[in-house]
Amino acid sequence: MTRFSAPIAEQIWDMKYRFKDADGTPIDDTVEDTWRRIASSLASVEKDPKAWEDKFYSALEDFKYLPAGRITAGAGTARSVTLFNCFVMGTVPDDMGGIFDMLKEAALTMQQGGGIGYDFSTIRPKGAAVKGVAADASGPLSFMDVWDAMCRTIMSAGSRRGAMMATMRCDHPDILDFITAKSDPARLRMFNMSVLVTDPFMEAVKSGGAWDLVFDGKTYGNVQARELWDQIMQSTYDYAEPGVIFIDRINQMNNLNYCEIIAATNPCGEQPLPPYGACLLGSINLARLVSDPFEAEAALDEEALNDLVATAVRMMDNVVDASKFPLEAQAQEAAAKRRIGLGVTGLADALLMMGLRYGSEEAARQTDRWMHAIARAAYLASVNLAAEKGAFPLFDADKFLASGAMQDMDEDVKEAIREHGIRNALLTSIAPTGTISLYAGNVSSGIEPVFAYAYTRKVLQKDGSRTEEEVVDYAVQMWRDLKGDAPLPDYFVNAQTLAPLDHVRMQAAAQKWIDSSISKTINCPEDISFEAFKEVYMEAWDTGCKGCTTYRPNDVTGSVLSVSEEKPADEAPAQVTVDGDGAEVVYMSEPLDRPQELDGATYKLKWPDSEHAIYITVNDLVVAGHRRPFEVFINSKNMEHFAWTVALTRMISAVFRRGGDVSFVVEELKAVFDPRGGAWMGGKYVPSILAAIGGVIEKHMIATGFLAGEGMGLKEDPKADVVALNQKPKGQACSSCGSYELRMVEGCMTCASCGYSKCG
């Protein structure tokens, strides 16, 4: 009998977490092997590894404790990958050499699979004088473009693309350019962006005061605070970015405010970190801990919760010693503070099992109680570890206990910390859990509401046929198993029907006991008024949140998928499939077979100043009456080109043979720039020879009907149609599987079909 409660869970495990040889041969035969691999690896640093291995295995078993994806995929594999999820890089110096040193560090970190955050407030504004070169500064936005291009070329561990966060202070002279940067649908697509909002700024917004724009002690301008706030809100209303980070609150509440200053977060915002700060993540699956679900006596087993939290804290603390780090500075920072980020997933499902409506005052009170219990158990577990193994090196009892986050903690916990110290400087965080929640049987993600009770997922088989799978929310499936055809109670609500202020209530309830922060998306209806939209952010500020991220459907990022809720979910599952006209490209579970003969075309590419031409052959396969690219051959007589043309041939062909929407290959190639300079071809500037090859492949795709036109293969297509259910697809296609099932979850575009997440 399989441990997986849904087919999609097993598929996610096989695709993302199952340990395999380089040729794809599985090493983990079962999910039990995966759990054993992780448990053995994290127990290896203990004095009695075998005893702790069994304890760790028990926590992992049946998806009760879910280490973040990088731990699940990397622990015990002996691969050169980091087990840490997120990093904030060093402070960017305000000089050219230092800036590009930071770019190199970012590339090395992303190469090992880490998401990164940067504060660009330290770079002088556009137009400021650059001493010694008689020139004006180009400003931080120009350097963000360089970072964006770098990120496009780095493939993170486990086939995840790198994710980045950019922050800028609300008093930086270029803040207006930062706020509106993503109104250009082709710019800075690799970044999430947030404004660092200070307490004095919010006071000025409330009072209607003026606000100075300052850099390095010099005032560059003056604006009305309320007008600047409205511009931030308008951009977020129109384009879903930037987010807002209440940076003074973060620093005040930080347990380590006596030895660090925070100015940036990881890509999804749940980890505010100092320069070179790193954090690993993991989640308690609350949906697995509710006894007697949907009955009057339903309850969360708090004894089991306390034991599970204590084991999870020990496992995560061991990751600090077991993991590799991209940079030595990151290893030193992690060792000095031993930060961890233990959170939850399945909260909404657990509330449903208890008969509570997500977003209600009672649900918020229950969330507060559960988060308090988790924080208490985590801190006491870390105190016990300190008594056994020692406190984190920078621990100072008086200063630690004086921090804002410790003021609400139970007195007995504070006394235990004073007596024994604490092993981990910070312990709690609520991270995006989109992929691991699918892996755990499609439990609700993080502290988010259920997105949709059920949806249909199409899977393209290698013979060209399509199968359909119903993907059902974990709690809804449990209701069906227990109650049969009984209609769902009225307390079943989802992200489509929930009022935005109910989202804020839940975030604020959880934040009280989270010493780091929370990744959460507040879904807003497209027709929400601008004034009501601004009220969401002000409520987040007034209720103690550390930041706020909303998502309102818009023309640039597209719309989250529309789901039908006219009938109860048990009677009419929300359908998220799409119909014809080229919209049926979906994830391939196995590579396509190569027939004996293929149709194709060969193109001659003459790069200026190159002695020999490059010849590009693209062969197509016909699937369900449509031509799609299957393989590429790139040849040149220039032996300097030999190695990379062979490598490119093999890599592109391998991608094409996996099926799905492979048009992203064109985008990636066309985005590559050559620092030595590009060339003018056909009246257009082409930034590199690789970009020229991408243009040839795109030309072929258009000629065969695979693409509708130039630029139509972009992952972030500003012209994507926004339409209703059972019409053409809404928003952009998933860059991993091609389905039009992307939705905003915890601040990150996530695919409901294959589990791909922009943020990794």
Helix (H) or strand (E) holding 140: helix 140-153
Catalytic-labelled residue, pool 170, 268, 545, 548: 268
Question: What number of other Cβ atoms are within 10 A of residue 97's Cβ?
Answer: 8
257 included as an active-site residue: no
Bridge partners of 129, per DSSP, are 136
Q: Which amino acid is at 85?
A: N
- Residue carrying structure tokens 């922060």: 517
Q: Are 74 and 83 in contact (CB under 8 A)?
A: yes
Catalytic-labelled residue, pool 241, 260, 270, 333: 270
The full length of the chain comes to 760
Pairwise CA distance, residues 43 & 39, whole Å: 6
270 included as an active-site residue: yes
Residue 742, SS3? strand
Residue 491, SS3? coil
Q: How far apart are the first and last CA of the chain?
A: 30
Pairwise CA distance, residues 632 & 338, whole Å: 48
Cα distances (Å, whole numbers) of residue 118 to 98, 161, 269, 688 = 14, 17, 12, 28
548 included as an active-site residue: no
DSSP assignment of 624-675, as one string?
TTEEEEEEEEEEES-GGGHHHHHHHHHHHHHHHHT-S--THHHHHHHT---T
Pairwise CA distance, residues 117 & 270, whole Å: 11
Pairwise CA distance, residues 541 & 249, whole Å: 10
Pairwise CA distance, residues 424 & 611, whole Å: 61
Q: For strands 115-119 and 164-169, give the pairing.
A: parallel
Bridge partners of 345, per DSSP, are 285
Cα distances (Å, whole numbers) of residue 76 to 110, 340, 714 = 20, 19, 37
Catalytic-labelled residue, pool 192, 251, 254, 266: 266
Pairwise CA distance, residues 700 & 688, whole Å: 19
DSSP assignment of 65-116, as one string?
EEE-HHHHHHTTS--S-BS--EEE-PPPPSSHHHHHHHHHHHHHHHHTT-EE
Q: What sign does the CA torsion over 632, 636, 640, 643 have?
A: positive
Q: Are 473 and 452 in contact (CB under 8 A)?
A: yes
Alpha helices (H) along 422-499: 434-439, 474-483
Give long-range contacts, CB 8 A cutoff, 24+ apart: 392-399. Answer: 392/336, 392/337, 392/338, 392/421, 392/422, 392/423, 392/424, 392/425, 393/335, 393/336, 393/337, 394/256, 394/259, 394/336, 394/337, 394/425, 395/421, 395/422, 395/425, 396/258, 396/259, 397/421, 399/258, 399/259
Q: Are 465 and 434 in contact (CB under 8 A)?
A: no
Write out the catalytic residue numbers.
266, 268, 270
